[in-house]
Amino acid sequence: MTRDEALTLRYAAGSDVGQRRSENEDSAYATAHLLAVADGMGGHAAGEVASALAIAAMEALDNRLAETGRAGVDLVEELAAGVADAAERLDRRAAEDPALTGMGTTLTAMLWAYPSFALAHVGDSRGYLFRDGELSQLTRDHTMVQTLVDQGRMPAELAARHPSRSVLVRALMAGSPGEPDLSLHTARPGDKYLLCSDGLTDVATAEDLSEVLGRAADPEEAVHQLIDLANEGGGPDNITCVVAEVGSPS
């Protein structure tokens, strides 16, 4: 648990290679002020490099704000700058190593200044809110299948099982600008938040997620249960979760 004068936030993060992959290309970051999940792509070690670079940019943002102070900070503007930094890091690394050309990563991140947080999202990792026993998805998948659903050309029930559901139309990619969805939210005491890679959501239903978040005693237990749930469902991909629970300021 981490507490300060303005924030009570319990959080935990965990990652697992799953049952069918030999390497873990996911990365995560969790502190009292910044939570993030990244799911890399690009083959060989490129995905692992891409997700690690994105998370390094989030850590740099968190550290910079810790040094300069957070009072009066525009959360959305700062988080957007952090995502832009991540995109630049991918560009620089790909320029140094041509073998990494074309690498990319998803990124879903929350920057906190209680009771508010900014949310940045690009790709098909997800952010969820569990409030008063109800689960809501805060992010929209940047996938071809989700685009078809939004256009009314595919039912959501079919999209959840479609073999091309992980084909991205937007991600952080070397050689292209980062274009995240950005939004500002207000948290309430008792809220639980979940950030996760699609290694969880490709296996677990919204009902599964609600059940775990509702019964887990704390974020650490929730993370363990969610990873176990994905592995019990076959673990077809790497599985990464960050869970946070908001408490009342003291």
Q: Residue 6's pLDDT is what? A: 55
Contact status, residue 29 vs residue 244, Cβ threshold 8 Å: no
Q: Residue 2's pLDDT is what? A: 43
Q: Residue 152's pLDDT is what? A: 82
**For the chain, what is the mean pLDDT?**
92
Contact status, residue 177 vs residue 80, Cβ threshold 8 Å: no
> Which whole number is the average pLDDT over 113-140?
97
Contact status, residue 228 vs residue 237, Cβ threshold 8 Å: no
> Which whole number is the average pLDDT over 25-44?
92
Report domain extents, the chain.
Answer: 2-247
Task: Calculate Rg over the CA atoms of the chain.
Answer: 17
Of 154 and 117, which is predicted with more confidence?
117
Of 144 and 133, which is predicted with more confidence?
133
Q: Residue 89's pLDDT is what? A: 96
Question: pLDDT at residue 153 above 90?
Answer: no
Q: Residue 127's pLDDT is what? A: 98
Question: What are the CA-CA distances from residue 81 to residues 95, 169, 246 (Å)?
Answer: 21, 22, 25
Tell if the pTM clears 0.85, that is, is over it: yes
* pLDDT band for position 167 (cuts 50, 70, 90): confident
* pLDDT band for position 39 (cuts 50, 70, 90): very high
Q: Residue 43's pLDDT is what? A: 67
Question: What are the CA-CA distances from residue 1 to residues 32, 79, 128, 144, 216 (Å)?
Answer: 8, 23, 20, 39, 15
How many C-beta atoms lie closer than 10 Å to residue 154's C-beta?
Answer: 16
H helical segments located in the chain? 46-68, 75-96, 144-150, 156-159, 198-201, 206-215, 219-232
227: tokens are 């990873």
Reported as type and span, the H/E element at residue 14 is: strand 7-16
pLDDT, tens digit, 9 for 90 and up, residues 76-96: 999 999 999 999 999 999 999
Q: Which of 156-160, 173-177, 223-227 is most confident?
A: 223-227
pLDDT, tens digit, 9 for 90 and up, residues 186-218: 999 999 999 999 999 999 999 999 999 999 999
Closest CA to 177 of 80, 108, 95: 80
CATH architecture of residue range(s) 2-247: 4-Layer Sandwich (3.60)
